[in-house]
Amino acid sequence: MPATATQPTARRDQAEPPLLQVEGLSVQFGQQLVLRDISLDIPAGQTLVVLGESGCGKTVLLKTMIGLVRPSRGEVRFEGQSLSSMRERDLAHLRTKYGFVFQGAALFDSMTIADNIAFPLREHTRISAADARDIVASLIDEVGLPRTVLDKKPVEISGGMRKRAGLARAIALDPLLILYDEPTTGLDPIMTDVINELILRVKERPRVTSVVVTHDMNTARKVADRIIMLYPLFRLGQNESQIVFSGTPADLDRSRDPRIRQFVEGRAGNRLTELQDEQSLEERP
Amino acid sequence: MAKTPETPEPTAPVDAGTQPGVAASAPGGVGGWFANQIANLGAFAMDRVAAIGDVALFALKTVGWIFARRQRREVLLPAFYQIGVMSLPVVALTGLFIGMVLAVQSYAQFKAIGLETRLGSVINLSLVRELGPVLAATMLAGRVGSAMAAELGTMRVTEQIDALECMGANPIYYLVVPRFLGCLILIPALTIMADFMGVLGGYLYSNLLLGIDYHHYWENSRAYVDAFDFLMGIFKSFFFGAAIALVSCHHGFHCGHGAEGVGRSATNAFVHSFVLILLLDLFLGIWLNNVHDFFRPEGPRRLL
């Protein structure tokens, strides 16, 4: 029985056709199964937050959604087109409809911030250098960075600035789907909220659908239309769904599932003793 | 039913049916031990074959992207500068010293049989056929190959290669093709530089320090070394350049995690490139000698 999380949580979701569909998805690296039988519909315009503890497969799920990780079983469909059956060139073209904000920003070290943000424009459009400069300047304004950073290299600016520059690069081509991988990890509380506000600001762009992978409950509550929670496979039984929760932020707060309560309230539970007993962890399949 | 972490239950095994790589456990005893050894050997052989296939696919994609799309000047020039211009001094210095060392090591034997005026023949033949191309390639593998593997490895670890893919740009086109073309096109130039400096070093040592006559040194060299010898070295260098770029970029692309992974890929890039250079040198040397014999059935020229 596939683990489904397709129940709509808002009335507008029912009207919108799903932009992205994940169907029976399993991902395995060597002998390690990371994702098992995940099914998920993401309607256009929705902001979906994927919660879960470290190592539960959130980032792998996100990378599978853009075709960076090939599924061992099942498929991902974007606007009805299966990513697995696409030729490399078609997949590259499809990716122009995506924006990906990486955990560490993943800006190119050898380029200035301006060149980083202009990269997708230069790669996929035929606009002049002057027009590209104007677009980069407006993107920089949109993410709240000073124009003085444009000529700097990524190593010369702070982590929060790098994340915002990464976001500016991700939205340069007006993508339909933006994937955020741990957008607030490693930031101070103020910068975390700045990023949250930017995610909300980007969400207001027309036709934008977002998937935010995080373990930050503040981010989840603030930006989510719908939340799903993944659970590490080695803690689950053979027939248990890996998606242990799917609903609104309010549903999450009302949930009485102890696994969800432990995560939401940030309790260690018996994890400390589990870590002390390394042998028991190593013996897990 | 939900399981609570506070009340641990026996963890159910992960669905073995979804793990095709999990083999049934081997029987115990001596038979089981042999079965395990054979299984390990088989797995090792499969891994090697898969790795060779992976490098071959990587090479095919690289060559494909050379012709699939116009190369950008602003991407090519920095790579060419790093690979060619920045390698010139070290290649020149190495060539100069190797030429001198050849003179130092050969002189006593040649003098013993009264043939010291023929020293130039042996020094220059060794240089243009073997030492020039191999040393230029070795220096390139050490200076550029390791750096390419480390740079691409860091890009892999920091998800910059993933970022390229996510933006619909092909990482092989952007990152590998300029480095491949740089190595392929510029290694002959570096080889010529190593040859030239080696010839110069050998002559300077022979003439200035060993007192060998200018006229005889060059006259014997001219009679013994011909264009085929020189072109043979240049021809081999193309293969060395391609091997360095492909092996190093492949190691960078398939870098392990963290600083340790980057360090290991840089080391492996040099070691594997160097071994491949020597293997290619051997087999190309044998083949080119056959080609030489085909066009000149009278055989090699004689020193005397």
- B66 burial (CB, 10 Å; 0-12 / 13-18 / 19+) is middle
Give the torsion through C-alpha atoms of A109, A111, A113, A118, to 10 deg: -130
**For the residues A143-154, what does the mean pLDDT come to?**
90
Cα dihedral sign, A109-A113-A116-A119: negative
DSSP letters for A248-261: -HHHHHH---HHHH
Q: In this complex, do A237 and B167 lie within 8 Å of one another by their Cβ atoms? A: no
Has residue B303 got a pLDDT over 50? yes
- A225 burial (CB, 10 Å; 0-12 / 13-18 / 19+) is buried
B167 touches chain A (CB under 8 A): yes
Instruction: Please give the DSSP secondary-structure letter assigned to residue A204.
Output: T
B160 touches chain A (CB under 8 A): yes
Of all residues in chain B, the one with the smallest CA distance to A26 is B18
ipTM of the complex: 0.84
Between CA A39 and CA A25 the distance in angstroms is 6
Has residue A149 got a pLDDT over 70? yes
Shortest CA gap B72–chain A (Å): 11
Interface test with A, best of B60, B70, B161, B167 (most A CBs within 10 A): B167
Q: In this complex, do B163 and A258 lie within 8 Å of one another by their Cβ atoms? A: no
Q: Return the pLDDT at A279.
A: 58
Has residue A233 got a pLDDT over 60? yes
What are A123's two structure tokens?
């790669």
The pLDDT tens digits for A194-217 are: 888 888 888 888 788 999 999 888
The pLDDT tens digits for B240-274 are: 999 999 999 999 999 888 888 999 999 999 999 99
Q: Which of A59-63, B17-21, B270-274 has the lowest mean pLDDT?
A: B17-21
At residue A284 the predicted structure's pLDDT band, cuts being 50, 70 and 90, is: low
Q: In this complex, do A33 and B162 lie within 8 Å of one another by their Cβ atoms? A: no
Between CA B172 and CA B64 the distance in angstroms is 10
At residue A275 the predicted structure's pLDDT band, cuts being 50, 70 and 90, is: low
C-alpha B161, offset from chain centre: 23
| Residue numbers in B near A257 (CB within 8 A) | 2
Q: Return the pLDDT at A278.
A: 57
Measured from the Cβ of residue B52, the count of other Cβ atoms closer than 10 Å reads: 10
**For the residues A258-280, what does the mean pLDDT come to?**
75
- B57 burial (CB, 10 Å; 0-12 / 13-18 / 19+) is exposed
Question: Looking at beta carbons, which pairs linking B4-12 to residues 24 or more positions away fall under 8 Å?
Answer: B4/A258, B4/A259, B5/A235, B5/A258, B5/A259, B5/A262, B5/A269, B5/A270, B5/A271, B6/A258, B6/A262, B6/A269, B6/A270, B8/A270, B11/A234, B11/A235, B11/A284, B12/A236, B12/A237, B12/A238
Q: Return the pLDDT at A16.
A: 53
Between CA A146 and CA B44 the distance in angstroms is 54
Distances (CA, A) of B183 to A130, B149, B154: 34, 14, 21
What are A249's two structure tokens?
């932020």
Judge contact between B262 and B154, C-beta under 8 A.
yes
Of the candidates A36, A80, A79, which has an alpha carbon nearest to the alpha carbon of residue A60? A36
Q: Return the pLDDT at B3.
A: 36
Shortest CA gap B176–chain A (Å): 15
Of all residues in chain B, the one with the smallest CA distance to A172 is B167
C-alpha B77, offset from chain centre: 21
The residue length of chain B stands at 304
